[in-house]
Amino acid sequence: MIADKVICVLALFSLGFSVIRADFMIIALYLLLFPYLYLTHRWHAVFHLLVSSVVACCWLFVAREQYGYNRELLVIAGYNVYPLFAWAVGLFGVFLIYAHWVPSFRKMTFMKKMAFFTLLYWGLLFSSEILAYRFFNFRNIATAQYAGLPLLDCIHVPGWMKAAYLLNGPVYFLICEVLRLPDPNIGMKKHALTG
C-alpha cells in the first residue's frame, strides 16, 4: 500500500531531514497511525502497535540514562521521548512490512517466520542507524564513547545495549506470536473483498 510506504519515508524524515524537529515528527507520526489504521480498516493492527509501544516503554525504562542526543529533543520526567516513539513506530513498521510478505509463505514453519522477521528487522535497523549516524548526523552523545558494530560503524552503545538492539525485534515478534495477534492487514483485505 502506498500510504504504508509514506509512513516509512516520514519515519526517515524524523531523523532530521525535515524542517520539523525529529521528536515532534516521530510523535506526530505515531499519533497519526491510529486514525490511519482505522481509515484503512486495519483495526487488528492497533494491537500490534500497542504491543510495540509496551516493548518500547519497557526498553526506555531500562535504558533511559543512555539516551542524550546532539540536538534538542523533548525530555519528560527524565525520559527522552524520541527513542520511545521511534522504537514503537519502528517495531510496528517492521511487522507491517513482514505481514505483507508472509501470506506468500503460509507454509513456513515458525522458526523460518522468526528468521525471516529477524533478518528483515536487522536489515531495517542497521539501515536506519547508518542513515541516522552517517547522513543525518543524528548522534547519541550519551554513548558516543562506545565503538559501533564492526564493519557497520553504527549503534554506538555499550555491549548490553547492542545485544538489546538486536533482540528487541525478535522479542516483539515472539510476543505477537504468543498473543496470537491476527494479521495486521486482515481488516484491509476483508474490506477490499467486500468493498
Residue linked to cell 558516543: 144
The tens digit of pLDDT for each residue in 19-65 reads 678 888 889 999 999 999 998 888 889 999 999 999 999 999 999 89
* Domain boundaries along the sequence of the chain: 2-194
- How high is the pLDDT of residue 191? 43
Indicate whether 78 pLDDT > 70: yes
Mean pLDDT for 5-19 is 59
Task: Compute the distance between CA of residue 111 and CA of residue 117 in angstroms, rounded to an integer.
Answer: 10
Indicate whether 119 pLDDT > 90: yes
Mean pLDDT for 115-124 is 95
- How high is the pLDDT of residue 16? 56
Least confident window among 45-49, 98-102, 115-119, 178-182: 98-102
**Per-residue confidence band for 194, with pLDDT thresholds at 50, 70 and 90:** very low
Contact 117, 170 (CB under 8 A): yes
The tens digit of pLDDT for each residue in 143-169 reads 999 999 988 888 999 999 999 999 999
**How far separated are the first and last CA of the chain, in Å rounded?**
16
- How high is the pLDDT of residue 165? 96
